[in-house]
Structures are given as structure tokens and as C-alpha cells.
Amino acid sequence: MNALKKATVESCKFVDDYLHPVSKKFIYYHQLAMSNGDLVSCGTMEKNSPRIKVGSVLEYKIDDKGKMKIETSSNDKKPEPEVITSSFPSRIKGHEAFLGYTWSYSKDLIIAGKTMEDVEELNKIARYIYAEIGKMLQGE
């Protein structure tokens, strides 16, 4: 493979299709004329692939047989931004966000059905864990 190139598709002409004998999927070959003067053959899995339509900006390499390997296309689907949701209400900020977590975690450490003494122990554990998390957040 040669060096990575970048150019705009000026023309795209369907040439032929090929049925892969193992995968039983078609590969559609097109002749592309690029804005930098390259005239290349390109195989795609779609006959009218949006990746190679006229006006697409491609980053690609060309092998010794003149076949194009597309690295990126301006028409590639952009990944959806990852949405991180929180179980805490949006009004809760900073260390307050860990209060509910700490209480819940401490409760889980005490087996259900305990006496009031166990609730007091739960309170001590919750305060200890909360204080430790606070120290961690402050870099201690």
C-alpha cells in the first residue's frame, strides 16, 4: 500500500459486481475519479454506497493493482455521543451526590432485620465511608 491520500470524489461510475464464493455477499466495484487526479477502482458492500458518492472527501490508500482502500469518508456515520445518566437528581452536586450512595452501601453491609443498635452501627459505617470518600476526592 502507498501513503495515505486525501481527495474529493469527482465522479463515481459503477463497473461490475462480484459474488464472493465464501461469504455469498456481493462486492460492487466502481471507478472513481478523484480531485487530485487519481483514477481508481473501489469495491463496496453497497451498490450506491454513500461513502463514495460525488462530493465525498476520502482518506485512502491505493494498492499496487490500483484498488482503493478507504480509511475514512466524510459520509461515514458519526458515533452517537455517549449519554451518561445519573441516579442522582440534577440539583445534587459534589460531595452531596455521595451521601445517598454511602447510606445505601452501608445499609447493604448490615443484614436486613436488625435491631436499633444495628441502625446506629449503620450510621457509624455510613459516616466513616463518607469521610473516606471525601478524603479520596481531595487527593489524600
Residue 120 lies in a domain: yes
Element (H, E) at 133: helix 116-137
Decide which of 23, 58, 73 is a domain's last residue.
73
Domain total for the chain?
A: 2
96: pLDDT confidence band, cut at 50, 70 and 90?
low
Residue 26 lies in a domain: yes
50-76 pLDDT, tens digit per residue, is 999 999 999 999 888 878 999 888 888
Residue 84 lies in a domain: no
Decide which of 58, 73, 88 is a domain's last residue.
73
Residue 80 lies in a domain: no
Give the dihedral sign, CA 101/106/110/114: negative
Range of the domain at 65: 5-73
The pLDDT score that the predictor gives to residue 17 is 92
The enclosing domain of 32 has a CATH number of 2.40.50
pTM of the complete model? 0.52
Query: Do residues 13 and 31 make contact, with C-beta atoms less than 8 angstroms apart?
Result: yes
63 in the same domain as 24: yes
66 in the same domain as 106: no
57 in the same domain as 115: no
